[in-house]
Amino acid sequence: MIIFDVVDRAGNLQKVEVPEEINLNLMEVLKASEYPILATCGGMALCATCQVEVAQGLENLPSPTDVELDMLDQLPKATPQSRLACQIKINENLNGAVFHLAAE
């Protein structure tokens, strides 16, 4: 199991457990866990509605690709901890990470 924490917009923390061999990205897992993420663009790094702040474990994630950086660079509320959940593949790098859903 891969286990990480998700903090919703109201500040509630919940552990999320995902099987290791799952072939999904973080946005898909958050949606499947009923978090209110619009994911308007379906995971193409084009809408930023899946923005998360990585409070812990950022250093374990692969760096953002160009498409993700292009989007993050345009957003008013992005910080160096901001990522797009749809661009984060679920794998063991995520163990112990803490993700905050960004404000809508």
Partner 1 sequence: MITTDICIIGAGPVGLFSVFEAGLLKMRCHLVDVLPQIGGQLSEIYPKKPIYDIPGFPEIKAEELIENLYQQILPFKPTFSLGERVDKLSRTEDGGFLLTTSDQTEIKAKVIVIAGGLGCFEPRKPELQRLEHFEGKGVVYMVKDPEKFRGKKLIIAGGGDSALDWSIYLTEIAEQVTLVHRNESFRGAPDSTEKVFDLAKAGRLNLLLNSNLHALNGNGVLKSVDIMNKQGELKKVEADYMIPLFGLSPKLGPISEWGLNIDKNAIEVNTFDYSTNVPGIFAIGDINTYPGKLKLILCGFHEAALMAQSAFKFVYPNQKLSFKYTTVNGVNAF
Ligand X SMILES: Cc1cc2nc3c(=O)[nH]c(=O)nc-3n(C[C@H](O)[C@H](O)[C@H](O)COP(=O)(O)OP(=O)(O)OC[C@H]3O[C@@H](n4cnc5c(N)ncnc54)[C@H](O)[C@@H]3O)c2cc1C
For residue 61, the one-letter residue type is L
Q: Applying CB under 8 A, does 20 fall inside the site for partner 1?
A: no
CB of 39 to partner 1, least distance (A): 11
DSSP three-state, residue 39: coil
Which whole-number Å values give the CA distances from 104 to 7, 20, 57, 64, 101, in the listed order?
14, 30, 23, 21, 9
Q: Nearer Cβ to partner 1, position 21 or 104?
A: 104
Q: Which stretch binds partner 1 (CB under 8 A): 20-28, 55-63, 66-74, 84-92?
A: 66-74
CB of 38 to ligand FES, least distance (A): 8
**Total binding residues for ligand FES by CB under 6 A?**
13
Q: Applying CB under 6 A, does 42 fall inside the site for ligand X?
A: yes
CA proximity to 50, closest of 63, 58, 41: 41
Asked if 38 and 47 count as a contact pair (C-beta separation under 8 A), the reply is: yes
Q: Which residue is nearest to ligand FES (CB)?
A: 86
Q: By the criterion CB under 6 A, which residues form the site for ligand X?
A: 40-42, 44, 46
